[in-house]
A and B are shown apart, each in its own frame.
Chain A
């Protein structure tokens, strides 16, 4: 930006000369066809921390979602709108051979069906002038991220969560071992069908729109959108020192009322918590985590593993997520905290990674320096993306 503005400004003012004029760059060749289709299975499962209770569940009723396909012709640099193609034959074939035919609804192509976890899908489009576009994708495997609060002692409404993937979860017990101090034990067995997955996690308070910087210490978090940030240590510490925090009647998990927490134990746990953040990174609105699915070494012999909040965490299994919530506003307005996890197919992940990278540098730039690295496309015969995404949502309510 600095370069652009200097040159234009220098040319126009510094030398009192120079000129900026619009120019038409349209090429002569025909523009390619562009497909956009992302199979969606939204909000299959959610988990909620509400006051002292923990809930999980499924949306009421089985809603069969509608899938959409957008088919347009790319626009030339001088054009303002793409041209929608409304006379093509569009169908998606699943791994069992079932064909889902799409119909034009006036704006795009649609078909109602529920994608299945782990199933492959083939997209085929034939236009009226006999051009064929094809693509394939695999719906993500069924993976849920579960979480436990960072500190249940006296502060059950921790907005930082320890997350772990569901197939490691087996059993959870809670035990009060000291006044104001609960121990959460989780034991599980390694399930051999542990699959790699890629998840994009975002956080929001009181709305569905992601926008808050999100922080994690997951070792496989993608650093492409790391931004600066000096929390949550500061946030945690300032909150810890707040009178409200010290004098609040602490329940537990489950609820416990009465005494003020033991401050020595509190300090020890804060240290563990803050140390866990030492390797963390803050990300702009999303954190992309690509879990390779390699079996953690602790499970090599198929043993169980216990997590004990007093003794700390094993970062191979658990990772922290936190976000720059406005705590005062959340508490005052009783806003919901949400962590939205989107599990994406490999093709869609690669596409998102490319557009996210371009989004970071998009803006006024000299043409010579435009990146010519193309955004990933898995469409044969055209451009665009055919991908898949499934969602899980974790709610945290402050009452």
Chain B
């Protein structure tokens, strides 16, 4: 990944994904991303094949998993492999590192937002290894130190804040070829704040996932993998409000528990053929928007049994198969299929294809086709990429989300210069519109089922990327021109309207210079620039005053449509520098940067002040320094 500054000082895979063609960012510098016109929830992030739902810390500003545990990260937005299912836009596939079987390595670091460390060590040399990581945020102390310097015009007090993530992986080599690993990942964010003297609000999200995985070779270069995982995700909002003499303590929780069993085999045959096949079974228990009595004012909620429950079980069984002919990087064709059975939807096939055909050395055609289904929906409140969205299963009422996309283009790969240009066309179906997104912080969210509309979407675009790799200088330019619409009967008078993140033009440019590299020191500088057309908001086009016996004088707004106002463009320039100092025993790294060097107030939302009758734009992150110090042993 190129060197990049971030608001939190943490290098983040999702921040890199947001620079790629076909990807639009959400608002406010968060981790929300929208791929080829899809919704945020249409993107799947997996860690060793297990979905991760609590994907970010804080207001979506950084991912909930550290890069140190990742050995490989793949981003796919078309031509999906047969084992990639239950998504309709993209897949961020993370593979974790095994622990070092020979020597102990450790690392500790501190950045704007996180203190952390990781260790990779043999427990039994050449047999059993451990890879572990822990990150904790001192955000509460930072707030306490800094809030005294800022004039607080709002009656807001952050009472408690906790954010951390932890990962551990034990890897056991059964023999030279077989391996058994057990890994756990846990992340938690919790914030309690006092808004005025009468109310105390809290929000929390956490995830725990555990995986047991067995790997062994299969035949020559083939391999077989079987795994069992358990995943529990929950987000909650707690409200303790005093009304008159009564304490109202309400907790609204959305949770998902899933068990996944899967087995997957890859078998190359000869030089040209590769076959892949497998099985997957998933049982998921959703309980979105359940209401509980909040029984404690501690940060980690303790609550009653649900007063209002939306528990439902989704079972999904998938048989998948894939055949690859040739070399997919030069001249090859991959065909992948899945046959799903879901308890509410019955049998449904999916199909993907990807191909590349080299016309002459370094130049060729490439394309992909996908017909996909996703068996859950994400009701998105605020497009920050934080984990307070509601996950609901597809059902008889809300069928699986569907997408069908085709992309075709050409590539040029000469020496270290890589150039891609392609166009895509995508149709989406069974998209959900959450009419009451504003109430996601309100007890009315308990009745979310009444606030859903179903519709469709289309997206078309042109994606261009030019990348140059090098030992001294590397750069990457990406440009996307796209148009994405939504159509919901009953909304906007039945007419299509722009998707919220239908950013017409997206231009990203990154440049990294490796100034110095020897046995003792490495020095790199980087810069990143992005220009993105504004996203869309729904605002009144005008208003008039009306007096009546019910309300008295009232201002009545009128609208010209849904998402009728294009926000100002999002423009940001970051600067970063990294200095690495190496010695025999340890290595130190200092990464410093300036995020949003132009100090542009990129509007995230609009807000209306009823008492003054004025509209305001809200920006989250102006110019911000970032700093991270790492020491490795």
Contact = CB atoms under 8 A, between A and B. Distances in A.
Interface string A1-30: 011111111111111111111111101010
Contacts of B381: 3
Nearest to A377: B558
Given A2-B195, A364-B607, A372-B562, A27 B541 contact: yes
B260 interface: no
Give the interface centre of A358, A365, A372 by most chain B CB atoms within 10 Å.
Answer: A372
B616 A23 contact: yes
B616 A362 contact: no
Nearest to B610: A363
Interface residues of B, number: 71
Given A2-B441, A7-B382, A22 B146 contact: no
A75 B550 contact: no
Given A4-B607, A359-B551, A80 B556 contact: no
A326 to B, nearest CB: 17
B558 A366 contact: no
Interface string B505-540: 000000000000000000000000000000001111
Interface string A334-365: 00000000100000000110011011001111
Contacts of A11: 618-620
A17 B621 contact: yes
A375 B555 CA distance: 11
B150 interface: yes
Interface size class of A (residues with CB under 8 A): 35 or more
A278 interface: no
Nearest to B139: A14
B533 to A, nearest CB: 17
B542 A13 contact: no
Contacts, number: 206
A10 B239 contact: no
B156 A369 contact: no
A38 B603 CA distance: 42
B544 A384 contact: yes
A126 B342 CA distance: 62
A184 interface: no
B544 A75 contact: yes
Contacts of B492: 372
Contacts of A21: 601, 616-617, 619
B441 A36 contact: no
B272 interface: no
B279 interface: no
Contact of A25 (B147, B382, B565, B624): B565
A65 interface: no
A76 interface: yes
A366 B554 contact: no
B548 interface: yes
A367 interface: yes
A362 B610 contact: yes
A159 interface: no
B175 to A, nearest CB: 52
A12 B618 CA distance: 10
B618 A16 contact: no
A25 B156 CA distance: 29
A202 B551 CA distance: 12
B116 interface: no
A32 interface: yes
Interface string A24-52: 11010101101010100000000000000
A8 B607 contact: yes
Contact of A12 (B153, B551, B610): B153
A37 to B, nearest CB: 11
Given A3-B441, A7-B618, A21-B619, A366 B150 contact: no
Nearest to B603: A23
Interface in B191-242: 193, 195, 199, 201, 239
A200 B201 contact: no
Main SS class of interface, B: mixed
Contacts of B558: 32, 74, 374-375, 383
A102 interface: no
B275 interface: no
Contact of B546 (A9, A80, A384): A384
B620 A18 contact: yes
Contacts of A82: 544-545
Contacts of A258: none
Nearest to A21: B617
A359 B554 CA distance: 8
B620 A15 contact: yes
B415 interface: no
B557 A17 contact: no
A363 B614 CA distance: 12
B259 interface: no
A97 interface: no
B542 A7 contact: no
A38 B608 CA distance: 30
B98 to A, nearest CB: 37
B544 A77 contact: no
Contacts of B603: 23
A75 B562 CA distance: 20
B542 A32 contact: yes
Given A6-B201, A375-B556, 14 more contacts: A2-B199, A2-B201, A3-B441, A3-B442, A9-B156, A11-B618, A13-B147, A13-B152, A16-B149, A17-B624, A20-B618, A74-B542, A76-B541, A82-B545
Interface of B: 59, 143, 146-147, 149-150, 152-154, 156, 158, 193, 195, 199, 201, 239, 381-382, 436-438, 440-442, 491-492, 500, 537-551, 554-562, 565, 601, 603, 605-610, 613-622, 624
Interface of A: 2-25, 27, 29, 31-32, 34, 36, 38, 72, 74-77, 80, 82, 200, 202, 210, 285-286, 342, 351-352, 355-356, 358-359, 362-370, 372, 374-375, 383-385, 389
18 contacts: A11-B620, A17-B621, A19-B619, A20-B619, A21-B601, A21-B617, A23-B606, A31-B542, A36-B547, A74-B558, A75-B543, A82-B544, A210-B549, A285-B550, A342-B549, A364-B607, A370-B559, A372-B562
Query: What 10 A-B pairs are tightest by C-beta distance, nearest first?
Result: A369-B438, A9-B156, A367-B606, A3-B441, A74-B542, A9-B154, A359-B551, A372-B559, A23-B617, A34-B544
